[in-house]
Amino acid sequence: MDYILQYWPFVAVMFVFYFMILRPQSQRRKAEKQFAESLKVGDRVITTSGIHGKVAQMNESSGTVVVETGAGKVTFERSAISQELTSKLSESTLKA
């Protein structure tokens, strides 16, 4: 019995570690993957570097996205797209 109680703190730390670190990280990764797959031509986006633009082209084979900005067209990796603004912009116009 003492042998089991000796490892109780270790088990508790592992439990907390899983629910505080590992599980939220895997949920975030799943949401990011779903977001990247849901991108389509015409969506207004923000890249991780802060560039605002509109998706002009998507290349499925190489995993790149061509974003049209005010300065021209720039090619990014799909993972470099941070946010999609089309739905946020339409929500803000509905509220106003």
pLDDT of residue 10: 92
CB 55 within 8 A of CB 41: yes
What percentage of the chain carries pLDDT values higher than 90?
39
pLDDT of residue 96: 53
Of 3-7, 19-23, 57-61, the range with the lowest mean pLDDT is 3-7
Query: CA 20 from chain center: how many Å?
Result: 19
Tell me the per-residue pLDDT of 29-58, one tens digit each, with 9 for 90 and over: 898 888 888 888 999 999 888 899 999 999
**Segments making up each domain of the chain, as ranges:** 1-38, 40-96
What is the amino acid identity at position 94? L
pLDDT of residue 1: 67
CATH 2.30.30.60 for domain 40-96, yes or no, is: yes
pLDDT of residue 95: 58
DSSP state of 59: E
pTM score, whole prediction: 0.62
pLDDT of residue 38: 86
